[in-house]
Structure 1
Amino acid sequence: MGRFDRHALIDGWDQQRLAEATVVVCGVGALGSQCAQALALAGVGRLVLCDPDDVSESNLSRAPLFRADDIGRPKAPTAARGLAALSPVTRVEARTAPLVSGVGLAELRDASLVVSCLDSLAARLQLAGRCQLAGAALLDGGTSAWGGEVRLYEPAGPCFGCGLTPRDRATQDDPWACADAVVPEAGASAPVSALIGSWLAVTAVRLLCGATTGPGVIRVDAAGGTATPVTVPRDPDCPLHSRIPADLVAPVPDTVLSTPADLTDHLAPEETVMTWAPLPGSPPTRESTRLADAPPRARLADLGVAPREILPVLRAGRPRGIRYLELAEADGKGTPR
């Protein structure tokens, strides 16, 4: 039998749609490895893995894509190599930068699905906010000692931030990298990571195949053997509900290999291009989000700008206004060479 012949026997399975799909997986530790592995084996055509962290010894008991020799290596490319061996039909791209620098808003917008397997509240909020800006559906998963949750958020419905208090939402200003955020130790195991990771993958495959799956939260209690739907209402005051208007976005031929000086060709004298995160370097540059404050010949990628990012452009004077520039792909794959 062929690689996917058994899939053809499943009612509602559409292998062609899976082959044409792009899924962005943010976080490829225990949960992300389990989910990405299942998606690759299912025949998803393209996976984009984003994780700035390195493999640690604790990952070895829960993440099937890592081995002892991988300790200290970056998670995303290490996982990508493992997935390529498992599923040669899947194109896997690895991003080792933090989220804001790793995956651009246009990539999130154009992806078939974004999957969050992050283990900090700050990281989840940041990804949720960027998916809202891009108008992207977000499938989020999290584990507990004996269970976890699978959450599907659609752009017009409630988001991850809707179920949180204003104080919890404020943590979106924390650094994205799990190594930087304060994450309390919690129990974790391979069986639970496999359970929630597989549930994420099943939900993702059904969505990619065109099945109707309503948004909401599924709370899984493995100890009690239950899976309970939980309704989270949309909070009209949630600050994450911001969308970039499509008619204000102008595609430009520049990429992350371009420079701030290149972008000035698309600006009026009173306009300034902004970034979504402070520029790297020493103060005062490190506190700035104005590309005009960066070295004019530095590559945008080196300034923390993500591939296919959508950058805001502010207009001073009267009338004040905002529009956006959408960066092009650097090499046809969305990543710089």
Structure 2
Amino acid sequence: MGRFDRHARIPGWDQQRLAAATVVVCGTGALGSQCAQALALAGVGRLVLCDPDDVSESNLSRAPLFRADDIGRPKAPTAARRLAELSPVTQVDARTAPLVSGVGLAELRDASLVVGCLDSLAARLQLAGRCLQAGAALLDGGTSPWGGEVRLYEPSGPCFGCGLSDRDRSVQDDPWACADVVVPQAGASAPVSALIGSWLAVTAVRLLCGADTTPGLVRVDAAGGTAVPVTVRRDPRCPLHAPIPADLVTPVPDTVLSTPADLSAHLGAEEAVMTWAPLPGSTRARESTRLSDAPTRARLTDLGVAPREILPVLTAGGTRRIRYLELSEDGGKGTPR
């Protein structure tokens, strides 16, 4: 019997499609660990795990990929090592940088699926926005004390932000705060994390196998034993729907190991390459996303640029125009090999 013999007996299961798939998993805490573990055991060919956090003691009661001696270690590489033991057929790349610096827009665009297992409103909005920029489908999940939600968003349909108010859509992490904002954490447990994580994995596998899967939101109530579809309509005022036009993107041979000086060779008069997040060393008084303000010989990865990022290029002067440079494949600080 082969590793996937029982899978072959499932109608609609396509092991070859799973083996050829790349899934980006953003967040490797309780929900992300459960989902990533199921996807690896299912035989997904490549997983990209992105999480800037370290393992904490509270993760041990809910995240199956972590052990007591992992406390204080970065989540993504630790999860990657465990997944390699569970499923040697799955390639796992770990990214320890925050989302904007960890996974580039071209990676999101070319992935078979992006799965969000994040624990804050700001992080979910950021991931939703980047997926819409890249034209990538997003499968998002979240838990509540006795249930949770599984949300499948296609680029042409409603997104996570469409179901929020203007005020909620404006929520973002404040890098200049003098102290961390204390937000009460909701209750969470291993059974609920396993339930929603497995639901995410089942939905992902059906998508990857080409089975019929209905976009939208499902609200799961474990206490009541119900799973109810919830209608979400696209909000024409939602600012997250801002896809990057493909005809404005120019692939370049440079990578995250290149420098701002290298990128300047692709620029015309009065053009400037921008980043999606403030450069390291920025202050509230002087926040910059212009690469020309960085040391010319600094590596892009050290400036917070993600592998295979698509960077905006702005033209100053009377005719403000925008185009984009797409970085080539290469390893960087966010992609340990």
SS of match in other structure, 2:171: helix
Q: Which amino acid aligns with 2:60?
A: L
Q: Which amino acid aligns with 1:118?
A: L
SS of match in other structure, 2:306: coil
Question: How big is the shift at 1:316?
Answer: 1.3
Q: Is the 8 A contact 1:137 1:154 kept in 2?
A: yes
Q: Is the 8 A contact 2:95 2:336 kept in 1?
A: no
Question: How big is the shift at 1:282?
Answer: 4.7
- Between the aligned partners of 1:231 and 1:26, the Cα distance in structure 2 is 25
| Corresponding residue for residue 61 of structure 1 | 61
- Between the aligned partners of 1:216 and 1:278, the Cα distance in structure 2 is 33
| Corresponding residue for residue 254 of structure 1 | 254
| Corresponding residue for residue 122 of structure 2 | 122
Q: Is the 8 A contact 1:120 1:181 kept in 2?
A: no
| Corresponding residue for residue 296 of structure 1 | 296
- Between the aligned partners of 2:158 and 2:213, the Cα distance in structure 1 is 15
SS of match in other structure, 2:172: helix
Question: How big is the shift at 1:181?
Answer: 6.6
What are the residue-to-residue correspondences of 1:167-246 with 2, within 5 Å? 167-172=167-172, 174=174, 183-246=183-246
4+ residue segments displaced more than 3 Å: 172-175, 179-183, 282-286, 334-337
Q: Is the 8 A contact 1:120 1:183 kept in 2?
A: no
- Between the aligned partners of 1:274 and 1:336, the Cα distance in structure 2 is 25
| Corresponding residue for residue 330 of structure 2 | 330
| Corresponding residue for residue 11 of structure 1 | 11
Q: Is the 8 A contact 1:18 1:43 kept in 2?
A: yes
| Corresponding residue for residue 279 of structure 2 | 279
Q: Which whole-Å deviations, capped at 9, do the CAs of 1:106-161 have from their partners, x for residues lacking one?
A: 00000000000000000000000000000000000000000000000000000000
Q: Is the 8 A contact 1:114 1:139 kept in 2?
A: yes
Q: More deviation in 166-175 or 227-236?
A: 166-175
Q: 1:236 to 1:171 in 2, by over 3 A?
A: same
* TM norm structure 1: 0.96
Q: Is the 8 A contact 1:257 1:336 kept in 2?
A: no
Percent of pairs with identical residues: 86
Work out the number of aligned pairs and report it.
Answer: 333
Structure 1 gap ranges (5+): none
- Between the aligned partners of 2:285 and 2:84, the Cα distance in structure 1 is 40
Q: 1:259 to 1:129 in 2, by over 3 A?
A: same
Q: Which whole-Å deviations, capped at 9, do the CAs of 1:247-290 have from their partners, x for residues lacking one?
A: 00000000000000000000002100000000011548961000
| Corresponding residue for residue 88 of structure 2 | 88
- Between the aligned partners of 1:282 and 1:68, the Cα distance in structure 2 is 37
| Corresponding residue for residue 44 of structure 1 | 44
Q: Is the 8 A contact 1:31 1:194 kept in 2?
A: yes
Q: Which whole-Å deviations, capped at 9, do the CAs of 1:291-322 have from their partners, x for residues lacking one?
A: 00000000000000000000000011232200
- Between the aligned partners of 1:310 and 1:285, the Cα distance in structure 2 is 27
Q: Which amino acid aligns with 2:202?
A: V
What are the residue-to-residue correspondences of 1:12-27 with 2, within 5 Å? 12-27=12-27
1:28 aligns with 2:28: yes
- Between the aligned partners of 2:65 and 2:283, the Cα distance in structure 1 is 40
Q: Which whole-Å deviations, capped at 9, do the CAs of 1:4-48 have from their partners, x for residues lacking one?
A: 010000000000000000000000000000000000000000000
Question: How big is the shift at 1:210?
Answer: 0.4
What are the residue-to-residue correspondences of 1:66-145 with 2, within 5 Å? 66-145=66-145
Q: Which whole-Å deviations, capped at 9, do the CAs of 1:218-267 have from their partners, x for residues lacking one?
A: 00000000000000000000010100000000000000000000000000
- Between the aligned partners of 1:273 and 1:203, the Cα distance in structure 2 is 38
Question: How big is the shift at 1:174?
Answer: 4.2
Q: Which whole-Å deviations, capped at 9, do the CAs of 1:162-205 have from their partners, x for residues lacking one?
A: 00001100013546xxx967542110000000000000000000
SS of match in other structure, 1:188: coil
* TM norm structure 2: 0.96
